[in-house]
Amino acid sequence: MEITIELIVFLILAVFMVVCSVLAVTTKRILRAATYLLFVLIGTAGIYFQLNYSFLGAVQLLIYAGGITVLYVFSILLTSSRGERTKKPKKSRLLPGLIISLVGAGVCLFVIFKHEFSPSRFEHGELDVRTIGHALMGFDKYEYILTFEVISLLLLACIIGGILIARKR
C-alpha cells in the first residue's frame, strides 16, 4: 500500500477521533466530555468530506456537531451544578465494565479482520440529493422516516426531562 495524502489525512483524523473519544469517556468533568464529543463528531464529518460525501458531511456538522451537541450542553448546564464532577464508579461495577469493554473490542476486531476493507470496494462520490431525500423520507425497506420520527420524540423527551429536573431544584 502506497502512502498518499488521503491516507495521511485519514490517519490524522482517525487518531484525533480516537484520542477525543477516550478523553470523552475518561474525563471527570461533564462539560469537557461534551466538548470532546463535539470534536469526535467534527472528525467524523471530516472523514465524510474526505470520501467526497459533501451532503453527509454537511448534515453531520449541522445536525450532530451543531444541534445535538447544543442539546447536550443545554441539558448539562440545566441539570448540573457549577463545576460538578462525575462520581467514582463503585468497585463492584469495574469488573462487568471491563468484561463488556473486552467483548466490544473483540467484536470490533472480529469484524475488522473478517471483512476486507480495501479502497477498491468503496465508491467515492455521492448520490444526487433527490435520491438521498427519497431514501430518508420513505416508508419502504432501507428508508428512514420512522427512525427520524423516533429520534425526534426521544430528543423532545430529553428536553422536557431536563426542564423538569431543573425546575425541581
Which CATH number does the domain housing residue 78 bear?
Answer: 1.20.120.1200
Q: Which residue has the cell 477498491?
A: 120
Residues 2 and 73 in one domain: yes
The percentage of residues in the chain with a pLDDT greater than 90, rounded to a whole number, is 19
What secondary structure letter does DSSP report for 60? I
- 10 Å Cβ neighbour count for 43? 22
Expressed as residue numbers, the domain containing 22 is 1-82
Beta bridge partners of 130: none
In a domain, 91, yes or no: no
29 pLDDT band (50/70/90 cuts)? confident
Number of domain units in the chain: 2
Calpha distance 41→155 (Å, rounded): 18
Closest CA to 32 of 76, 87, 94, 89: 76
Query: Chain-wide mean pLDDT for the chain?
Result: 80
Highest mean predicted confidence (pLDDT) among 10-14, 49-53, 74-78, 153-157: 10-14
| Domain shared by 78 and 7, yes or no | yes
Residue 115 counted as domain residue: no
19 falls in which pLDDT band (50, 70, 90)?
Answer: very high
